[in-house]
Amino acid sequence: MRALMSVQPGGPETLEMVEQETPKPGRGEVLIRIHAAGCNFPDTLIIKDLYQFKPPRPFAPGGEAAGVIEAVGDGVDASRVGQRVAAAVGAFGGYATHAVCGEHAAMPIPDAMSFEVAAGFIMTYGTSYYALKNRAVLKAGEKLVVLGAAGGVGSAAVELGKAMGAHVTACVSSEAKAEFCRELGADETIVYPRELDRDASKAFAGAIKEKTGGGADALYDPVGGAYCEPSLRAMAWEGRYLVVGFPAGIPNPPLNLTLLKSCQIMGVFWGAAVMRDPAGHAENMGQIASMMADGKLKPRITKTFPLEEGAEALKLLEGREATGKIVLTVN
């Protein structure tokens, strides 16, 4: 098999194409011949040893992939060989021609779904649905605010929020991204600056309050950094602040704001939730698939790269330039 490997800690430029033996599936596992792999911001962190998991090197980044089951381990129905699947392969391993995962992590996909689309929805929609459904318990009619709304998980949160009946305000860093979010169905948009000084922070909090009519019932934050405090200041009474990621840095919010708003700060660790509650994950993915079949969700694959150019894909994510989903294609 071939794989785009992290051979030393560092940025995308440190990745190397490596030839190695194709793994064999163990008991309860399947071997997938990968046709496409999804790119996500955590991939840029894990190769720098900045993610929650630090796998031994060399390893291929990438947590989601789509392809065809090529072999099965003991205890797995042999009829699954040849099945088209989308899979959460774990925290790493997807940037390769082959990957092994648990059979329950490999979800059958219809023939009409392309491998590119299949590789681009498990982590983004899975993370966002877990956040909105299981953590925030979002209700129809509530005011949802999404930061980084044009990115992979952000755009999924916008779509899912609308599908769940919420009023959605999408916050982004450019007017072009705001237009993209309006195409996704966002009710309101806010363009925030790349850097927040005191005045800009105050203006951002004010804009959220204005667009939501008083404050956010749920706020989805995959950005972090200086955007955290003004967002907390713009929470509604008993609002739920969802901590998803930190590309702008890990914030240190003043916790007195949670008292004043009687609001909650909630962590969203989807990968661990999948491992701890595989049945709940399967239920969520089934509901996501149903929404996709009904046309309520339409994954936006905005750019594809061949596996060999995976470093270029990660550079786009690092620079916060990507909209929608970026996918690697594997020959």
Is the Cβ–Cβ distance between 328 and 313 less than 8 Å? Answer: yes
Q: Which domains, and CATH codes, for the chain? A: 2-120+299-329 (3.90.180.10), 124-270 (3.40.50.720)
Q: What angle do CA 277, 158, 41 make, to 5 degrees?
A: 65
Instruction: Return d(Cα 274, Cα 129) in angstroms, integer.
Output: 12
Contacts of 252 (CB under 8 A, 6+ apart): none
Q: What pLDDT shows up at residue 217?
A: 98
Q: What pLDDT shows up at residue 215?
A: 98
Is the Cβ–Cβ distance between 64 and 86 less than 8 Å? Answer: yes
Q: What pLDDT shows up at residue 280?
A: 93
Q: What pLDDT shows up at residue 323?
A: 86
At residue 322, φ and ψ (nearest 5 deg) are: -80, 145
Give 227-251 as a DSSP string.
GHHHHHHTEEEEEEEEE---TT---
The one-letter code for the residue type at 85 is V
Q: Cα dist. 306→21, 109, 256, 311 in Å?
A: 21, 22, 48, 10
Per-residue tens of pLDDT for the chain, all 331 residues = 999 999 999 999 999 999 999 999 999 999 999 999 999 999 999 999 998 889 999 999 999 999 999 999 999 999 999 999 999 898 899 999 999 999 988 999 989 899 999 998 889 999 999 999 999 999 999 999 999 999 999 999 999 999 999 999 999 999 999 999 999 999 999 999 988 999 999 999 999 999 999 999 999 999 999 999 999 999 999 999 999 999 899 999 999 999 999 999 999 999 889 889 988 998 999 999 899 989 999 988 999 999 999 999 999 998 877 888 999 999 8
Instruction: Return d(Cα 299, Cα 280) in angstroms, integer.
Output: 22
From start to end of the chain, where are the E strands? 2-6, 15-19, 29-39, 64-72, 84-88, 98-102, 106-108, 143-146, 167-172, 188-191, 216-221, 235-243, 264-267, 301-306, 325-329
Taking alpha carbons only, the member of 149, 190, 165 closest to residue 157 is: 149
- CA within 13 Å, CB half, 88: 21
Instruction: Return d(Cα 236, Cα 257) in angstroms, integer.
Output: 11
Contacts of 36 (CB under 8 A, 6+ apart): 65, 66, 67, 114, 115, 116, 118, 119, 120, 304, 327, 328, 329, 330
Q: What pLDDT shows up at residue 311?
A: 96
Q: What pLDDT shows up at residue 260?
A: 95
